[in-house]
Amino acid sequence: MGSVPALSTIDVTAIVEPAPAKINLALHVRRRREDGYHEIETLFAFLRDGDLLTVADADSDSFAVIGPYAAALAGEGTNLVMAARDAFARAFGAIAPLAITLDKRLPVASGIGGGSADAAALLRVLARRHGVTLDDPRLLDCAASLGADIPACLLGRAAFGTGIGTDLQATESLVDTPVLLVNPGVAVSTAAVFRAWNGSDLGPLGGADPLAAARAGRNDLEPAALALAPVIGIVLSALAAAPGVLLSRMSGSGATCFALFEDRQACAAAATALRAAHPDWWQLESTLA
């Protein structure tokens, strides 16, 4: 097979692309598949805040990580951002050299899709530069090949996810809901949490209304994560006790937990109280996109 011709690019000096934090409002693990993935039913939601990716034309390729959590990625082999660049080039043709800077603001290995969101952000940038629509099947295949969360992160808005999380049905009803993320400073391995899952299918995620479905649902990985990092239970208790909470739960495989609030005042008050009680905990106050 011959080489794929290089795509023409739009002359762009620099693009700053948000890589918003992802949360799972509910996460039902149904079974482990023979290929090692798990069949899940989940409700993804995305914040308006997270990491930032800056992409600029350059004479040669470069990749730099800055920000408060840059050190956590030091010495990492292949970052998902660069894997996304390479996957896009394989699908669509050679890419002109780029200087890519990742401002790492989200904790690493924290259940809020940081690496997946970063990779999805680069895919969105490359798609715009090369005239590729976000629903192009080749782009969706790129995203899925990089990780089960990345198609949802590429979409970047609330959606029900089934299969391994890549079959998505978008929903708009949660936009602008105030949300508080809290991480007690513990990194939890997704693989370790899934290995510790007890294998029990506790039933589907039901309901058409997203908030009602989430509140009636659960996170099946929570018991396994609590066994690995008991401090998660302290975070969950603190969030559940905050006035004005609509829903509080652990996100993904942990250790980050979240609370949705009735209004921004309640969210801000909870953030202030938790900061005073646990100044060493990371938190992010935002709204859902």
In the set 11, 22, 86, 176, the catalytic residue is 22
C-alpha to C-alpha distance for 19 and 50, rounded to whole angstroms: 6
Residue 159: phi and psi, rounded to 5, are -160, 145
Cis bond upstream, residue 187 (ω within 30)? no
DSSP string, 118-180: HHHHHHHHHHHHTT--TT-HHHHHHHHHH-TTHHHHHH-S-EEEETTTTEEEE--TTTT-EEE
Q: Hey, what amino acid is at 211?
A: L
Packing angle of the helix pair 137-146, 80-92 (nearest 10 deg): 150
Instruction: Determine whether 22 is an active site residue.
Output: yes
Instruction: Determine whether 104 is an active site residue.
Output: no
Q: Is 122 exposed, middle or buried (0-12, 13-18, 19+ CB in 10 A)?
A: buried
> Please, are residues 264 and 180 in contact by the beta-carbon 8 Å criterion?
no
In the set 51, 103, 118, 149, the catalytic residue is 149
Residue 199 Ramachandran class (φ > 0 left, ψ -120 to 50 alpha, else beta): left
Tokens 């030091």 found at: 74
Catalytic (active-site) positions? 22, 149
